[in-house]
Amino acid sequence: MNTSAIRRLRQKLARDESVFGLWVTLESPSVTEMAVALGLDWVVIDAEHGHLDWKEICEHIRAAVRSDTVVLVRIAELNAALIKRALDIGADGIVIPWMETAEQLKLAVSYARYPTEGVRGIGAERATGWGQCFTEHAEEANEHVLVVPIIESVQAVRQVPMMCQVDGVELMWFGPADFSSTAGFRGQWEGPGVAEQILRLKDIIRAAGKHCGLLATGIDNIHERQAQGFRGIGVGTDTGLLLRSLKGSLAAVGRDRPIRAALTPDPLNSGKVTPAPLPRPPETMRPDRSEVMTTVGQGAMKEIAPGVYFECLVGNHNQARHLTTGIVTFAPGAVLPYHLHTFTESITLLSGAMSLEIEGRGYSLKKLDNAVIRAGQAHAARNLSITDNAVLHIAMAVDVPSRTLVDKFFSKRSMPDDATGIPGAERINRFATAPRSAAGPNTEFIDCFNADLMPGLEMSGGYGLFHPGGRLPAHVHDFDESICIISGTAMCIVEGRRYSMSDCATALQPRGRVHYFINESNATMEMLWVYAGPRPERIMVDESCATVAGNPWR
């Protein structure tokens, strides 16, 4: 037991400092040696999942001897024999999965302590210096051993206040993926409502004078979790960090692709045949206009109702065809009265609280929820806040938009919070539960609307998330496109011309222009894209076409 490292970790927590660590799943003790050499506060050796055997676990523990790094072992279940064995070979503490009650936690503490406080038997193994340090070890073990429960089920929620009262527990862990699974969102890291629930439990734990932690999903998330008050922060798993680095390197040479459960490579479009890029775009797609980059504040501004302002970023004013996009800002309490269009409209909530009524059907929108309203459907919108603005991104399948006010009574009906619209009428795309796919290395895309999802639609669009290094291949479209960067910083490359974009800056890519987007930053980047065509069709071309020298339209 490394009592000096345990004391140092506790001192940091007592000062409300974050303690950073690594989740270890690979067998090589070099992984733990690297963590120690880099000065991480702790490592967790995962003996619940994966293939580590006790010899390999012991080698990881040995790799941290005489260091400032605390070594914990995550056992497979609440079991006295497993706890005894992990501690006997020298672990500084245990991490126990699926803890749901205070009684279970009390048992775990008793299994980790020697009598009279517990029921752990003493053995002549590494923890006691192979029997040479019985007295020294027995005197300090109960005081220093770390018992860390993982809260990872909805059944544990009501028990958390009681678990906080259990003596001998100072740090608790959250498992968002299993928590989501028990909430009915299997396969999601933080399903709808789970993130909020974990934050509420975190506040309960901190109010009780204890600390909590979890694994971060990336660099941005590390900072976010610190700001939220989590103090035990895992920078990642060894396999996750390795894959992130490997995929980033492969992305730099255009070779990244998803992994399938069968552990065989998969093309970027998940099993479909990927056509080879064309050496150059078809001559029939030769563009007659240049790309236009517009930042917020440069667009044409119009007050379309009292307190409702529309800034047009793509439209007739910059020669867009069959497409208008922009930002609508609702002042506190502002209302856009019932009206209709002769074309499709898309609405995505960027910030604030909005309600949308479509012929009386009332939908509450959450951040990045998208609503698609067919031509001829009367609709209205309201900012639900009386103190804050609400901001929307809108897109319309026309380059000169118009509207007709509607003076008609509609019977009001509040739709469920997870309602996804009425088949054949509107479509509400719920961001939290929308299916995602890859459109390029290190990307996640959501198709919100197109003619396949809503037959007869004139335009298509959706959401894109770019992790660091994420990018699209060089391509062209047979229609105009609008791309709005809603968070982070994007590099837009058009035939060798480079544009840095952020803060809702919007690109108009005319038909035929060779372009792609890449995230060259260390943070994530998000975009909303809209095509002036019914389906999200891209024509891949050779990467050289996106360079100054290889520009096919010179």
Judging by beta carbons within 10 Å of its beta carbon (0-12, 13-18, 19+), is residue 351 exposed, middle or buried?
middle
Distance between CA atoms of 404 and 247, rounded to whole angstroms? 50
Distance between CA atoms of 183 and 539, rounded to whole angstroms? 41
Q: How would you label 93-132 residue by residue, b for 16+ Cβ within 10 Å and e otherwise? A: bbbbbbbbebebbbbbbbbbbbeeebebebbebbbbeeee
Distance between CA atoms of 344 and 456, rounded to whole angstroms? 10
- End-to-end alpha-carbon separation of the chain, Å? 70
For residue 269, what pLDDT band results from cuts at 50, 70 and 90?
Answer: very low
Task: Provide the phi-psi class of 225: left if phi over 0, else alpha when psi is between -120 and 50, else beta.
Answer: alpha
What confidence tens digit (pLDDT) does each residue in 68-84 have? 999 999 999 999 999 99
pTM of the model: 0.55
φ, ψ of residue 364 to 5 degrees: the values are: -95, 125
φ, ψ of residue 466 to 5 degrees: the values are: -115, 115
φ, ψ of residue 239 to 5 degrees: the values are: -70, -40
What confidence tens digit (pLDDT) does each residue in 32-41 have? 999 999 999 9
Residue 375 pLDDT: 93
Work out the number of other CB atoms within 10 angstroms of the CB of residue 455: 9
Residue 359 pLDDT: 95
Would you state the CATH architecture of domain 3-246? Alpha-Beta Barrel (3.20)
Q: What is the mean pLDDT of the chain?
A: 93
φ, ψ of residue 215 to 5 degrees: the values are: -85, 130
Indicate the domain borders of the chain.
3-246, 289-414+430-546
What confidence tens digit (pLDDT) does each residue in 481-530 have? 999 999 999 999 999 999 999 999 999 999 999 999 999 999 999 999 99
Distance between CA atoms of 110 and 90, rounded to whole angstroms? 18
**pLDDT score of 270 more than 60:** no
- CATH class, domain 289-414+430-546, is mainly beta
Residue of 312, 316, 340 lying closest to 326 (CA atoms): 312
**pLDDT score of 299 more than 70:** yes
Distance between CA atoms of 479 and 456, rounded to whole angstroms? 17
pLDDT, mean of residues 256-275: 56
CB distance 503 to 295 below 8 Å: yes
For residue 294, what pLDDT band results from cuts at 50, 70 and 90?
Answer: very high
Residue 421 has what DSSP assignment?
B
